[in-house]
Amino acid sequence: MFTGLVEHIGTVSAITPLDTTASGGSGFSLTIAESAPILGDCHVGDSICVNGVCLTVTEFEPEKKGGWFKVGLAPETLSRTDLGELQVGGQVNLERAMAPTGRYGGHVVQGHVDTTAVVKAVTPDGNSLRLDFILEKPSAYLVPKGYVTLDGTSLTLTHVSPRGHEFGIMLIAHTQEKVILPKKKPGDKVNVEFDVVAKGVERIVCNILGMSVSGNEGGAEGGSLSALEEMVERAVERALAKRGVGA
């Protein structure tokens, strides 16, 4: 479990294809250097959130080359995130798993990426920075002033389009210095994790009402929206049945 408060920015120093010792199969491994600040209490098997993805440490060295650690990327991880597009020299957001005695300054982040979004626009606003994004499929989990996790960063939504396929966030000056989002340009991808509370509420409500859950990343068309339509249809059918109308 994470909080979405990025602790440090590391640098990809090596990408090793088909590294079965780390990925366990047909994926590959990432070696992330310049990460000593988060390795002081590290152990093999620990979880570290890398650009919003919960990954397992398979090797690490806290002192050499500014400190480095290795993680494996399985095919499932590659299919759901943009980590497969990283290159040597690229920077990544890093956060250690939440300690039970710590504070949740962000929100509950699982490190389980739901989908990716594309940067639509980057607009300066005083000393702040506004970023707009486009999702491949609309989402019912995005709520203005609600939470979203982008590349592992807990952020507040400033606006959401009516259909939920576009949204925006704002970065204050302090945050701009601590995360990699300000380096993104229109057309770049980011990893997106929707608020786990929103996903849980949807499942509970749909189970109570006997409706299908969206079952995909973010309640795409035919998902959460169709569940609402199904609820309305049932209400109409009951009303018609009371009046003896219908088949």
Catalytic residue from among 16, 56, 158, 226: 56
8-96 with 115-195: one CATH topology?
Answer: yes
**One-letter-per-residue 3-state SS of 75-133:** HHHHHHCCHHHCCCCCEEEEEECCCCCCCCCCCCECCCCCEEEEEEEEEEECCEEEEEE
CATH fold for the domain made of 8-96: Elongation Factor Tu (Ef-tu); domain 3 (2.40.30)
CATH code for the part of the protein at 115-195 = 2.40.30.20
Report pLDDT for 216: 47
- Catalytic pick from 11, 16, 47, 212? 47
What pLDDT was estimated at residue 144? 92
56 classed as catalytic: yes
Whole-angstrom distance, CA of residue 138 vs CA of residue 218: 7
Q: Spell out, as residue ranges, where the chain has pLDDT lower than 70.
A: 23-25, 209-229, 231, 246-247
What is the per-residue pLDDT for 27?
78
112 given a catalytic annotation: yes
Pick the catalytic residue from 20, 21, 123, 156.
Answer: 156
Of the listed 11, 14, 97, 112, which one is catalytic?
A: 112
Instruction: Report pLDDT for 223.
Output: 46
Q: Could you tell me the residue ranges of all domains in the chain?
A: 8-96, 115-195, 198-242
- Looking at residue 218, its pLDDT comes to 44
Largest CA distance in the chain: 79
Catalytic residue flag (residue 47): yes
Q: Is 74 a catalytic residue?
A: yes
